[in-house]
Amino acid sequence: MTFTTDSLQRLARLRVLFLNAHDGLADYWDSEESLALYDATFAERIGWKWNFVLNDLDAREWTLPDGTLVDWGCGTGVASQKILQSPIGSAICNLSLFDRSTLSLDFASKKLTQLFPNIHFTQGDAPNAETVVISHVLNELSRDALNALLARLNKATAILWVEPSLKHVSRKLIEVREALRERFRLVAPCVHQARCGMLAPENERHWCHHFAEPPQEAFTQSKWAKFSQTMQIDLRDLSLSYLVLDKRPIAPLEPRAKRLIGNARLYKATASLLSVEVENGRIKQWNTPI
Ligand SMILES: C[S@@+](CC[C@H](N)C(=O)[O-])C[C@H]1O[C@@H](n2cnc3c(N)ncnc32)[C@H](O)[C@@H]1O
């Protein structure tokens, strides 16, 4: 893929919108071209984050419930595409695409029906669907829209939600966790079912985020070099926030296990790490010599 000046300008406009979105954004999909550009760049990068989440769930031997999956705020459908390509999504036979933009619904439907001819596709929210998938939407929702979505999510059996690792977005995702945790079990990244330890006053400066591994092509293809340079995105930094919830019983974790949050910070002679503990849900800061 080679970018024209026009295509780079379209992508740059989208980036500005995404970065400045706070509590509500009007529909911005203006053409099939913009969706195709998004799909080949931002969405592909989002897909790398989904690969990380799906591998994490696969390692925990967690699978999606049988039945229908809704990709809520589907855009070009990258989240459901990654799920259908992963072993954890093998029981999905119906996929419903939902977005306020009809342009995006048409784009995602066309792309996904070609990729997955054996899946039954519909458009619109499916309130009785077993699984709801949400990706990079939180920033764009007004408070009322988020509350309506939370009420709607209570009907699902499983929820998979991936967002960028911006601090305010991660903090909002913790709000979602707290609103839903009475009715769902917390599968990932949480290692306990209690109140999120990030809400303790001493953790106010932290946020829950993780780092996915970008694929080799991010550093070898000229498309990505141009994208990274123009958008000023460091492709090595593939950080994300995510949340996976399930109403079904989940396998217990080893009680003495801990989960790393973010990455280790390296200083001259020491490394500083943040972790959450299975046993008591506490967030702990570690300083170890290196
Ligand atoms: C940044 S895009 C992300 C698309 C896709 N989920 C992904 O991860 O690439 C956000 C999408 O959410 C949709 N959206 C935003 N607010 C919405 C709402 N209130 N109802 C339905 N869709 C919404 C937008 O139209 C857009 O397609």
Q: Is the pLDDT of residue 286 over 90?
A: no
Atom of ligand 1 nearest to the CA of 27: 25
Q: Which residue's CA is the nearest one to ligand 1's atom 24?
A: 73
- Of 83 and 93, the structure prediction assigns the larger pLDDT to 83
CA–CA separation, 103 vs 1, rounded Å? Answer: 22
Average pLDDT over residues 79-107: 95
- Ligand 1 and 137: CB distance under 6 A: yes
Helix runs in 164-279, H state only = 167-180, 217-220, 222-231
- Ligand 1 and 78: CB distance under 6 A: yes
The pTM assigned to this predicted structure is 0.95
Q: Is the pLDDT of residue 101 over 80?
A: yes
- Ligand 1 and 77: CB distance under 6 A: no
Q: Which helix (H) or strand (E) holds 96?
A: strand 92-98
The architecture CATH gives domain 5-250:
3-Layer(aba) Sandwich (3.40)
Q: Which pLDDT belongs to residue 105? A: 98
Q: Which amino acid is at 200?
A: A
Q: Is the pLDDT of residue 72 over 90?
A: yes
Task: Parse the chain into domains and list their residue ranges.
Answer: 5-250, 252-290
Average pLDDT over residues 181-194: 95
Contact 82, 76 (CB under 8 A): no
